[in-house]
Amino acid sequence: MKVSALTIAVVLSAAATAWAQAPSDAQIAHIVVTANQVDIDAGKIAAARATNAEVKAYGEMMARDHAGVNKQAVALATKLKVTPEDNGTSKSLKAGGEKNVAHLKTLKGAEFDKAYIDNEVAYHQAVLDAVDKTLVPSAQNAELKALIVQVRPAFVAHLEQAKKVQSSLK
């Protein structure tokens, strides 16, 4: 079932185009942290429940990498004295992530593996879209912008690996 992935993709695509006003740095910081946390939560579940070794390893990689990115993002926000500000995109991301986790918990075996990886492919595509169309162009602070630019290749690598695992499951 791809509803969750689609929901998140729609949310992020909407975020990429529907900001009447560009998000502030505080809002961007919140979006970055939330987007990472959503993938950490799903990754932890995959690490614990996936049956396919590659899917399991992918989940572990997501939990580890996105936790690292978030640690860096929080450290930067602290340094810049920016308090991440909740916003519509963050709320939707969080809700979409929770929905995805709830859905994944109802699945087992190959069904779980496929649903998790399908979601990861859609999610990383949507995140990259949001990074390119909204987050990087809107970020005002040079260090915040640099952080997003710096971690972008990691998201590309994650997408590439998710697609590889996805095709191996077919």
Partner 1 sequence: MTTTHPAIVLVMGAALGLLSCGSGPDAAANAPAPVTHTVTMEAVAFKPDDLTIRVGDTVVWVNKDPFPHTATSKDVFDSKDIAVETSWTFKAAQTGDFSYVCTYHPTMKGVLRVKPST
- Residues near partner 1, by CB under 8 A: 60-61, 64-65, 67-69, 71-72, 150-154, 156-157, 160-161, 164
Least distance in angstroms from the C-beta of 71 to partner 1: 7
Contact assessment for residue 143 and residue 80, using Cβ atoms and an 8 Å cutoff: yes
Closer residue to partner 1, CB minimum distance, 11 or 127 = 127
Distance CA 2, CA 155 (A): 20
Least distance in angstroms from the C-beta of 153 to partner 1: 4
Least distance in angstroms from the C-beta of 94 to partner 1: 22
Closer residue to partner 1, CB minimum distance, 66 or 114 = 66
Least distance in angstroms from the C-beta of 68 to partner 1: 3
Contacts 24+ apart (CB under 8 A), 51-57: 51/109, 51/110, 51/112, 51/113, 52/110, 52/113, 52/165, 52/169, 54/165, 54/168, 55/113, 55/116, 55/117, 55/165, 55/169
Closer residue to partner 1, CB minimum distance, 45 or 67 = 67
Closer residue to partner 1, CB minimum distance, 2 or 71 = 71
